[in-house]
């Protein structure tokens, strides 16, 4: 029975190979960290979401071991039957305190949290207004709910119409969408945005978004997966960075990036919304939650980050050092403050090939970075995306800049 599909898939897979779009997994033969082993060789890793260097942190490994010993390996149940332990409640409380929210509900991933969050809250007569560059899991979550949908051009707060750079389609600004949703008489309106957008490292203008939400009576949902733990003075996230803590109705985030790097996620926010999720969110009702080892380690993360800002401070120093030195070396980087640093290749001839060649040469020189081309980023916006970590030493960052400069000169990009 598989015959016809086999033929079809083989052909399509062949096309992906031809177009150089086939995804190859790179195999790491060591724990995750600033230094990893790839093909038997030690290299410095500059492309992980390991922002705080916690992925293989000794305290987390110990906490995970302890919780396996104390509370076992798994729960063999969803939360509301017999899958909730005391430690799940402890973690939910600590996450709420950290994010400055009223309550939190855990999910086995942020992808699940985003898949869960919209459908129970919004119906046909409601509006969801979403940034054009939002994460795939927000897009999927919105698809699962019946609300009317407005997509605003990335970061565009205006009440005008603009061009979307990736599709060249006309898209409205956020305020224009809110006005239209009001004119249609929508009952609830919800604005959904990533806190930080992972390709450019730009931060959502949450202060302006909150102001518009207040003006047009909308709720605000922020996915802070690329910011929880380090953005803002005490690392609470983009709501702290933009000065709107307590004003975001719903925050979703992952424990799979800065906050330990294993897995798990949550929805955090207004008490009644979280209560509703415990009764209606489908991935919560029909899927297991985070296992004890991960809960134990994530509780440890919350304790570490509440006790001291040392890690996020170090990440900030590494980020600014890298950004400043790369700019001084003559590279074209998207300005900002986030540890995602996009080094742009668009102004050079044959930029897609150049970016790939550049990344390959960097790996030969002991620096692991990745080139991104169409369709992951718009055509002509080819780039190498670097991600800094608190796990990097100052010397690691200097070494990376040195190698970028060397390869940049070899390839005729900088003088
Ligand atoms: C990584 C990411 C997710 C998915 O997180 P998981 O916990 O790995 O499922 C969701 N949203 C955003 C914005 C992300 O960057």
Output the domain CATH number for residue 403. Answer: 3.90.1150.10
Whole-number Å distance between alpha carbons of 174 and 160: 8
Burial (CB count <10 Å: 0-12, 13-18, 19+), residue 28: middle
Residues 229 and 301 placed together within one structural domain of the fold? yes
Q: What is the pLDDT of residue 161?
A: 85
Strand order in the sheet with 265-269: 103-107, 265-269, 250-254, 219-223, 189-194, 127-131, 148-152, 170-172, 161-163
- Residue to probe by mutation, ligand 1, list 110, 227, 250, most atoms within 8 Å of CB: 110
Residues 280 and 353 placed together within one structural domain of the fold? no
Residues 315 and 301 placed together within one structural domain of the fold? no
Q: Is the peptide bond before 375 cis (omega within 30 degrees of 0)?
A: yes
Global pTM value = 0.96
- Pick from 280, 342, 300: nearest CA to 90: 300
Whole-number Å distance between alpha carbons of 352 and 358: 10
Question: Residues 343-358: what's their mean pLDDT?
Answer: 94
Question: Residues 27-38: what's their mean pLDDT?
Answer: 96
Indicate which atom in ligand 1 lies nearest the CA of residue 112. 9
Written as six digits, the tokens of 182 are: 């009001």
Confidence at 169, pLDDT banded by 50, 70, 90: confident
Whole-number Å distance between alpha carbons of 173 and 151: 8
* Domain count for the chain: 2
Where is the domain boundary, 286, 307, 328?
Answer: 307
106 and 94 in contact (C-beta within 8 Å)?
no
Written as six digits, the tokens of 365 are: 């020189």
Give every CB contact of residue 49 below 8 A, 6+ residues apart in sequence: 226, 256, 257, 258, 261, 387
Residues 334 and 283 placed together within one structural domain of the fold? no
Strand order in the sheet with 370-372: 340-344, 383-387, 370-372
Whole-number Å distance between alpha carbons of 134 and 166: 13
Residues 224 and 120 placed together within one structural domain of the fold? yes
Distance of CA 49 to the CA centre of its chain: 8
Q: What is the pLDDT of residue 166?
A: 64
- Does residue 52 sit within a domain? no
Where is the domain boundary, 284, 307, 330?
Answer: 307
Residue 257 falls in the annotated catalytic set:
yes
Whole-number Å distance between alpha carbons of 218 and 236: 23
Residue 226 falls in the annotated catalytic set:
yes
Q: What is the pLDDT of residue 378?
A: 85
Alpha helices per DSSP H over 216-268: 238-241
Residues 298 and 313 placed together within one structural domain of the fold? no
Whole-number Å distance between alpha carbons of 144 and 334: 34
Question: Residues 170-174: what's their mean pLDDT?
Answer: 90
Q: What is the pLDDT of residue 376?
A: 86
Full residue range of the structural domain in which residue 338 is found: 17-46+309-410
Q: Residue 162's beta-bridge partner residues?
A: 171
Indicate whether 370 pLDDT > 80: yes
Indicate whether 111 pLDDT > 90: yes
Confidence at 64, pLDDT banded by 50, 70, 90: very high
What are the pLDDT digits (tens) for 302-343?
999 999 999 999 999 999 999 999 999 999 999 999 999 999
Distance of CA 194 from the midpoint of ligand 1 (Å): 10
Q: What is the pLDDT of residue 19?
A: 85
- Residue to probe by mutation, ligand 1, list 198, 199, 257, most atoms within 8 Å of CB: 257
Instruction: Out of 75-84, 161-170, 207-216, 234-243, pick the least confident.
Output: 161-170
Give every CB contact of residue 171 below 8 A, 6+ residues apart in sequence: 132, 151, 152, 153, 156, 161, 162, 163, 164
Written as six digits, the tokens of 82 are: 């017999």
Residue 198 falls in the annotated catalytic set:
yes
Distance of CA 210 from the midpoint of ligand 1 (Å): 23
Q: Which residue has the higher pLDDT, 21 or 211?
A: 211
Residues 292 and 363 placed together within one structural domain of the fold? no
Alpha helices per DSSP H over 223-309: 238-241, 271-280, 282-285, 292-307
Average pLDDT over the chain, rounded to an integer: 96
Query: Residues near ligand 1 with C-beta < 6 Å?
Result: 109-111, 114, 135, 137, 194, 198, 223, 225-226, 254, 256, 265
- Residue to probe by mutation, ligand 1, list 95, 108, 130, 135, most atoms within 8 Å of CB: 135
Confidence at 93, pLDDT banded by 50, 70, 90: very high
What are the pLDDT digits (tens) for 220-231?
999 999 999 999
- Does residue 258 sit within a domain? yes
Instruction: Tell me what percent of the residues of the chain surpass a pLDDT of 90.
Output: 93
Residues 91 and 179 placed together within one structural domain of the fold? yes
Indicate whether 165 pLDDT > 70: no
């Amino acid at each position: 029975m598989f015959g016809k599909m086999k033929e079809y898939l083989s052909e399509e897979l062949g096309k992906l190979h031809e177009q150089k779009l086939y995804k190859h997994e790179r195999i790491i033969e060591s724990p995750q960290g600033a230094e990893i082993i790839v093909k038997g060789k030690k290299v410095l890793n500059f492309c992980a979401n390991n922002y705080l260097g916690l992925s293989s942190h000794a305290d987390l490994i110990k906490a995970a071991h302890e919780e396996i010993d104390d509370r076992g390996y798994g729960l063999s149940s969803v939360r509301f039957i017999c899958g909730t332990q005391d430690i799940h409640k402890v973690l939910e409380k600590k996450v709420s305190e950290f994010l400055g929210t009223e309550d939190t509900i855990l999910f086995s991933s942020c992808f699940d949290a985003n898949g869960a969050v919209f459908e129970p809250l919004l119906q046909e007569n409601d509006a969801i207004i979403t940034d054009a560059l939002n994460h795939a899991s927000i897009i999927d979550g919105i698809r699962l709910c019946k609300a009317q949908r407005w997509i605003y051009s990335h970061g565009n707060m205006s009440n005008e119409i603009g061009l979307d750079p990736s599709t060249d389609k006309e898209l409205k600004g956020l305020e224009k969408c809110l006005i239209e949703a009001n004119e249609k008489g929508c009952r609830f309106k919800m604005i959904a945005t990533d806190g930080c957008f992972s390709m450019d490292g730009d931060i959502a203008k949450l202060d302006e978004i909150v102001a518009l939400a207040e003006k047009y009576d909308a709720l605000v949902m922020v996915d802070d997966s690329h910011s929880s733990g380090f953005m803002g003075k005490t690392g609470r996230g983009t709501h702290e960075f933009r000065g709107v803590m307590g004003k975001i109705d719903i925050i979703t985030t992952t424990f799979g990036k800065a906050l330990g790097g294993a897995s798990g996620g949550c929805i955090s926010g207004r008490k009644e919304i979280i209560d509703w999720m415990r009764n209606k969110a489908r991935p919560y009702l029909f899927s297991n939650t985070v296992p004890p080892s991960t809960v134990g380690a994530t509780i440890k993360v919350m304790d570490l980050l509440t006790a001291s800002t040392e890690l996020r401070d170090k990440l900030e120093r590494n980020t600014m050092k890298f950004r400043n030195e790369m700019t001084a070396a003559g590279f074209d980087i998207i300005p900002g403050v986030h540890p995602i640093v996009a080094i742009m290749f668009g102004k050079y001839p044959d930029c897609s090939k150049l970016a790939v060649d550049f990344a390959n040469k960097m790996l030969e020189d002991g620096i692991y970075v990745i080139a991104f081309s169409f369709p992951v980023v718009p055509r002509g916006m080819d780039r190498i995306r670097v991600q800094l970590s608190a796990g990097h030493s100052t010397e690691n960052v200097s070494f990376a800049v040195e190698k970028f400069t060397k390869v940049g000169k070899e390839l005729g990009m900088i003088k």
